[in-house]
Amino acid sequence: MPASPAARHYHEPMLQSGNPEDARAGSSGVRRVAFFGGSFDPPHRGHIAIARAAQTALHLDTVLFAPVGAQPLKPQGATAGFEDRLAMTRLAIAGEPNFAVSLADAPSINSSPNYTIDTLRTLRTELSASSALFCLMGADSFLTLHRWHRGADIPFVAPLIVASRPGQSLGELAGVLPAGLTLDRESNQSAGPVELRTYTLRNSVGVTAPFYLLPGLNIDISASAIRQQVRAAHVQPDSDLPPAVFDYIASHGLYR
């Protein structure tokens, strides 16, 4: 059966979003691009704060917000559909010149799971050889990395940028690494508007990759808590949601 128009739309080049106003990370020249995948169910101010911190600390040209189609560790799926999460993500980052929505993790035609390692490898081919690709994630995602498909390979395709929680120890992070990976304890700490610590990850055969830590970002926002608040009618317009996302949820009756 032919693919639906929506399915064909999703299978554009992964560094594009279909929105002419979005930044084009696949343009020629040297680029510093961070892939930021997730359910974005819904996208909230915490996601924006993490992306801003990473963009500032690592001088990123573009942070790609990529709503996931089918997350392997969440077989029950997201609460909102992909189209709604894509629309909310576009609204959340509107006006942010270094952010773009990406279809890199859009639903596949056969509804198979989206694996980050495969997405990153494809993104890597769409960037010039001299460009740098990173994988940005929050602490909660990093703590499950050992359960991801080929999680131990991901840092060597795209170095990790992890936004840790205040007071989170390096030992806690090192203790949940995928099997075969170790984290050197010596770090380089850069001065600037956003604190950045750089460590070295090493695999079982001695290959190394940088590991970037954004420590002490005081962000305690939960998408699941927001969904519960919406169901209880406790979310206010000045909440943890960007105003346009709040309006979209209200007008489309999401999370009720």
pLDDT at 129 over 80: yes
Residue 83 lies in a domain: yes
| pLDDT at residue 181, as a whole number | 97
Q: What HEC string does the chain produce?
A: CCCCHHHHHHCCCCCCCCCCCCCCCCCCCCCEEEEEEECCCCCCHHHHHHHHHHHHHHCCCEEEEEECCCCCCCCCCCCCCHHHHHHHHHHHHCCCCCEEECCCCCCCCCCCCCCHHHHHHHHHHHCCCCCEEEEEEEHHHHCCHHHCCCCCCHHHHCCEEEECCCCCCHHHHHCCCCCCCEECCCCEEECCCCCEEEEEEECCCCCEEEEEEECCCCCCCCHHHHHHHHHCCCCCCCCCCCHHHHHHHHHHCCCC
Among the listed ranges 11-25, 205-219, 226-240, which one has the minimum average pLDDT value?
11-25
Residue 159 lies in a domain: yes
Selected residue with higher pLDDT from 44 and 112:
44
pLDDT band at 166 (very low <50, low <70, confident <90, very high): confident
**What percent of the chain lies above the pLDDT cut of 70?**
87
Residue 111 lies in a domain: yes
| pLDDT at residue 190, as a whole number | 79
Q: CA-to-CA distance for 212 and 232, rounded, in angstroms?
A: 38
Selected residue with higher pLDDT from 188 and 252:
252
191-207 exposure pattern, b = at least 16 Cβ within 10 A, e = fewer: eeebebbbbebbbeeee
pLDDT band at 138 (very low <50, low <70, confident <90, very high): very high
Over residues 1-12, the pLDDT tens digits come to 333 333 334 444
Residue 110 lies in a domain: yes
pTM of the shown model: 0.87
Beta bridge partners of 214: 163
pLDDT at 24 over 70: no
Residue 99 lies in a domain: yes
Q: Is-contact 162 212, C-beta < 8 A?
A: yes
| pLDDT at residue 12, as a whole number | 41
Cβ within 8 Å of residue 108, ≥6 positions away: 10, 69, 70, 114
Structure token digits, residue 135? 């994988």
Q: What is the CATH number of the domain that holds 19?
A: 3.40.50.620
Range of the domain at 63: 5-220
Residue 216 lies in a domain: yes
* Among 127-131, 214-218, 229-233, the range of highest mean pLDDT: 127-131
Q: Is-contact 170 183, C-beta < 8 A?
A: yes
Report the residue count for the chain: 256
Total domain count for the chain? Answer: 1
Residue 75 lies in a domain: yes
